Amino acid sequence: MNLLVNKSENNFEQCIKCTICTVYCPVSKVNPEYPGPKQSGPDGERLRLKNPDFYDESLKYCINCKRCEVACPSNVKIGDIIQMARIKYSQKKPTLRDTILAHTDFMGTLATPFAPVVNAITSAKPVKKILDPLLQIDKRRNLPKYSFGTFRNWYKKIAEQQKTFAEQVSYFHGCYVNYNNPQLGKDLIKIMNSLNIGVQLLEKERCCGIALISNGFIDKAAKNAKLDEQEIRKSVLEKKLPVLTTSSSCTFTIRDEHPHLLGIDNREVRDEIELATRYIYRLLSTNQSNIPEFNNGKLKIAYHTPCHMEKLGWSYYSIELLKLIPKVEVTVLDSNCCGIAGTFGFKKENHETSKKIGESLFKQIEEGGFDLVSSDCETCKWQIEMFTSKKCEHPLSILAKVLA
């Protein structure tokens, strides 16, 4: 019998008020303005059904980390309820700052051709000082660097060569790989090729919409999602190629947020969208002879589980892959939110909260004597690199480096 029988739209009624969710909410711990997941989610939903006036703008403090859902013993989709309420009831209009932060792809397109200049400008103190009062982007925040030229542009050069592999997969690279860190995409291709698999890109790709959703641009997010869905269907259903990803947040958004928040029916293809680490783990565990050779790592690595990775439950695969490196020592850090939550941590009003949420994580990283931190999420990387003295790398980038 299936435990997960969909109990329809009244999922909030499965809440039996045990209040466990509030224990694990990273925001409740540091921000008293936030009414906590139980009150904002199932309790609030019931009141909002009586009268929408019960919507409280303080729901905006929810960072959609889903840790409440992971903790809930009643399968209540607390985070989903809160997200949906924000979409349905919020009256607040997004600011210019939110618009800029939300449109990761648009900003990337503008910035990458002039990356050296843009990076220099956005990291310059005077500019940050202007961004702070003007756009309410905190001046203490290091802004993401843009790459000089996009990943897609680079890929064109190797597209033909990739076709020569007998086996093929598709790759949804996301905004981060395309505009900020094409190296991660290159690393993925290197590893896949070592397994004799070629990597193709989707014909077109739009931002998964995670930042659009959290900043209130639902129509735009839905439009993107529809286009992505078409491309994914083409790959999975027509070309019979699974769609691999490298960002835990994009993956989670496409698989689980698109259907319930944006009304995308992805049932036919959902299982074929997965993190590359999961794909590789399965490949290696079904055929041991496949395991590529790695050079000695001699590294002490701390693995940080991003919130959406915790929700997906897939950190196991990344950790197991890292353990394949000879002489590597992998420590799994306590699963705690780092505090950045996508664009949340960039906003001036959230800077302190963001830092406080991550405090115990940063402490554990600093005190552990690690060489390196590893994580499947790009925004966690930014946060960890900003608030600790350690570098943070994607597991695949680490693997690619030691590939023999």
> Binding residues for another protein, per CB under 8 A?
1-4, 7-10, 12-20, 22-24, 28-29, 32-36, 38-39, 43-47, 49-51, 53-54, 56, 69-75, 271, 278, 281-282, 285, 310-314, 316, 332, 335
Residue type at 289?
Answer: S
Would you give the distance in Å from CA 35 to the centre of its chain?
Answer: 25
Question: How far is the C-alpha of 69 from the C-alpha of 310, rounded, in Å?
Answer: 10
Question: How far is the C-alpha of 201 from the C-alpha of 178, rounded, in Å?
Answer: 11
What 3-state class would DSSP assign to 26?
A: helix
Question: How far is the C-alpha of 170 from the C-alpha of 344, rounded, in Å?
Answer: 30
CB-wise, 336 or 343, nearer to another protein?
336
Residue type at 27?
Answer: V
CB-wise, 70 or 227, nearer to another protein?
70
What 3-state class would DSSP assign to 92?
A: coil
CB-wise, 74 or 119, nearer to another protein?
74
CB-wise, 65 or 115, nearer to another protein?
65
| Smallest separation (angstroms) from another protein to the CB of 374 | 17
What 3-state class would DSSP assign to 171?
A: strand
Alpha helices for 169-312 (secondary structure H): 174-175, 182-194, 210-214, 218-233, 248-252, 258-262, 276-286, 307-312
CB-wise, 192 or 309, nearer to another protein?
309
Nearest to 93 by CA among 209, 216, 210: 216
CB-wise, 128 or 311, nearer to another protein?
311
| Smallest separation (angstroms) from another protein to the CB of 315 | 9
- The residue whose two tokens read 């466990």 is 20
CB-wise, 106 or 316, nearer to another protein?
316
| Smallest separation (angstroms) from another protein to the CB of 238 | 21
Question: How far is the C-alpha of 166 from the C-alpha of 274, rounded, in Å?
Answer: 21
Alpha helices for 240-394 (secondary structure H): 248-252, 258-262, 276-286, 307-312, 315-322, 351-367, 378-387
Nearest to 58 by CA among 92, 16, 81: 92
Question: How far is the C-alpha of 404 from the C-alpha of 399, rounded, in Å?
Answer: 10
CB-wise, 147 or 305, nearer to another protein?
305
